[in-house]
Structure 1
Amino acid sequence: MAARRQVRWHIAVFLAPAVAIYTALMIIPLFGTLVQSLMNSDGQGGHMFVGLRNFSTLFGDALWSKQFWNALGNNAWFFVVHMLVQNPIGVALAAILSTPKLRMAAFYRTAIFIPTILSFVIVGFVWKLILSPIWGIAPGMLDMVGLKSLFTPWLGKEAYALTTLALISVWQFVGIPMMLIYAALLSIPDEVIEAAEMDGITGMSQFWKIKLPLILPSIGIISILTFVGNFNAFDLIYVAQGALAGPDFSTDILGTFLYRTFFGFQLQLGDPYMGSAIAGAMFGIILVGVCIYLFGIQTRLRRYQF
């Protein structure tokens, strides 16, 4: 007689609290937002189903589409700066800190990672003080090295404000890719490194030829986390530039555009239905990006995993 298969109820018991909290705080609100994006006011205090009319207005109406595409373009640039600056610096720092002969490596890791745990409010406020042309320390510091002529009110000029905020965000979060890549480098078996050294592959050559291909899966994960995080960004822009994301909406991203639309700001009344449509568009953009990574990139990176 075949033995009865044991039912592992303990797995469901341990997962139930996390699943319940995640469903209550994430899944149900997301589903409600997507449903609300298909509704609109009926003029009598209720709502009615309008299908994709809100999305048609968002993409087709000149007043809405101009703001949406401006915010999407700013979001894309915000993401590009992180990909081209934050992640390569994170990889370089991890490679340096994983060097066995480096002294005080633990101190350097901690110092670089500390900004990650700081509040967005603190980071935004402090950097506004630093870069202020009136009472900031940036002009004085540049003057000390003879470069005061390079100073300009970066947060007050349309051409520089978004890039400046992106670089501030890079400074705050570079510790995350650094730690993830550092952990990936430490997970490389010693046998692989020893075999490379026996073949005369050492130093930078060893990193490019041996270590970098082996940490590509981790770099891929960091890239998709960067994508999701940047297209969900809101806090730093709101703290530094306000809901209007000035100057002249040059730092406006989808998060601040959603905030103004949904809740209203100053003389602008809130429209929860159009706000839900913007949130639905953000969800669609992130979903497409994640699917491209999962089905187009991750499958190719699996060959490098142990």
Structure 2
Amino acid sequence: MKTARPWHIVVFLAPAVIIYSLFSALPLLDTLRLGFYTANDAGMHSFVGLDNYRTILFDSDWSTAFWNAMWNNVKFFCIHMLLQNPIGLLLATLFSLKGLRGARTYRTLIFLPTLLSVVIIGFIWQLIISPLWGVGEKLMTLVGLGDYFAPFLGQESTALFTLSLISVWQYIGIPMMLIYAALLAVPEEVLEAAHAEGASAMRIFWQIKLPLIWPTLGLVTILTFVANFNAFDLIYSVKGALAGPNYSSDLLGTFFYRTFFGYQAQVGSPTMGAAVATLMFLVILAGVGTYFYLVQRKLTRYEL
């Protein structure tokens, strides 16, 4: 048998390496570099070391907005972890049951919002819960909850939570399908043996299915973390770059947008924006690294 020559490997890998380098690796490295510079009115860059980062983290004019966005991002992520992933696990478990009528239709309907544009999703939900022309108040009145209706997107106390629920509704299909695929991969002979031993459905789920899908649950968790700390489009499409009211729905993504491109009275600064982007990258890198060090390496790998 002939062995593949090294140049064959180079030929097949070259397109992916070139595209990744041009559109991902090099821009990332240049962003990291730009964060150490500042620009004058003429656009000339000068090296300032860590001054941009000290300004963002400790200067009161910048740090208040940054830490507000960071804290909002943490809350945004926690809401997804407490609602999206458990509900996705529940739905996947239900759909994996044999004999469930209409399971394919339900899966399709639940996954469908994931395929829609975020702009469309934001516009639709703005219409639904608008206090002026939305149908949200009427629907809540029909179920006896009319007294609890409020301008959810217009109040500081509810804006971020409402946007988080909209995001959960749109993307719940992703963890559902990933977990559903993992549940289908559980060997039938293992489940049949458990049934033969007289194990109940709940015991089979908690002691057999759940341990076998831990790696998938870990994957869903890390994907949720990365997506939430990169979130921007939903907040921007619904509340704009100011992420109102009074920055109550501001995330790191919208804070980065205002810093880099500028908005209204705020003048954009590519160097400060690069520093914000670098901090976002470091937060995500720290979260992913912590997960892999503390959780992923301890997950038991079962032989299927």
TM-score by length of 1: 0.96
Matched, 1:52 2:50: yes
Aligned residue for 1:25?
23
Kindly tell me the number of residue pairs found equivalent between the two proteins.
304
Residue 195 of structure 1: CA displacement?
A: 1.4
State the alpha-carbon separation in 2 of the partners of residues 92 and 13 from structure 1. Answer: 45
State the alpha-carbon separation in 1 of the partners of residues 138 and 258 from structure 2. Answer: 36
State the alpha-carbon separation in 1 of the partners of residues 280 and 169 from structure 2. Answer: 25
Structure 2 residue runs without a partner (length 5+) = none
Aligned residue for 2:188?
190
> In structure 2, do the counterparts of structure 1 residues 289 and 304 end up closer, same or farther at CA, with 3 Å as the change threshold?
farther
Moved more, 286-295 or 252-261: 286-295
Q: Deviations over 1:146-196 (max 9, x none)?
A: 221110110000001001100100000000000000000001111111111
Q: Deviations over 1:89-120 (max 9, x none)?
A: 00000000000110111111111100001101
Q: Is the 8 A contact 1:217 1:304 kept in 2?
A: no
Residue 46 of structure 1: CA displacement?
A: 0.7
Q: Is the 8 A contact 1:54 1:274 kept in 2?
A: yes
After superposition, the CA RMSD in angstroms is: 1.5
> Residue 162 of structure 1 aligns to which amino acid in structure 2?
L
Aligned residue for 1:172?
170
| Structure 2 counterpart SS, 1:158 | coil
> Residue 208 of structure 2 aligns to which amino acid in structure 1?
I
Aligned residue for 1:99?
97
State the alpha-carbon separation in 2 of the partners of residues 4 and 95 from structure 1. Answer: 48
Partner of residue 292 from structure 1, selected from 290, 293, 297: 290
Residue 6 of structure 1: CA displacement?
A: 3.6
Residue 23 of structure 1: CA displacement?
A: 1.6
> Residue 61 of structure 2 aligns to which amino acid in structure 1?
L
Residue 21 of structure 1: CA displacement?
A: 1.6
Q: Is the 8 A contact 1:217 1:305 kept in 2?
A: no
Aligned residue for 1:256?
254
Q: Is the 8 A contact 1:115 1:172 kept in 2?
A: yes
> Residue 273 of structure 1 aligns to which amino acid in structure 2?
T
Matched, 1:204 2:214: no
Partner of residue 64 from structure 2, selected from 55, 62, 66: 66
| Structure 2 counterpart SS, 1:95 | helix
State the alpha-carbon separation in 1 of the partners of residues 93 and 217 from structure 2. Answer: 13
Matched, 1:118 2:116: yes
Partner of residue 16 from structure 1, selected from 14, 29, 40: 14
Structure 1 residue runs without a partner (length 5+) = none
> Residue 46 of structure 2 aligns to which amino acid in structure 1?
M
Aligned residue for 1:37?
35
> Residue 125 of structure 2 aligns to which amino acid in structure 1?
W
> Residue 38 of structure 2 aligns to which amino acid in structure 1?
N
Q: Deviations over 1:227-284 (max 9, x none)?
A: 0000000000000100000000000000000000100001111011111110000000
Matched, 1:138 2:151: no
> Residue 249 of structure 1 aligns to which amino acid in structure 2?
Y
| Structure 2 counterpart SS, 1:227 | helix
Q: Which runs of 4+ in 1 moved over 6 A?
A: none
Match runs of 1:278-289 below 5 Å: 278-289=276-287
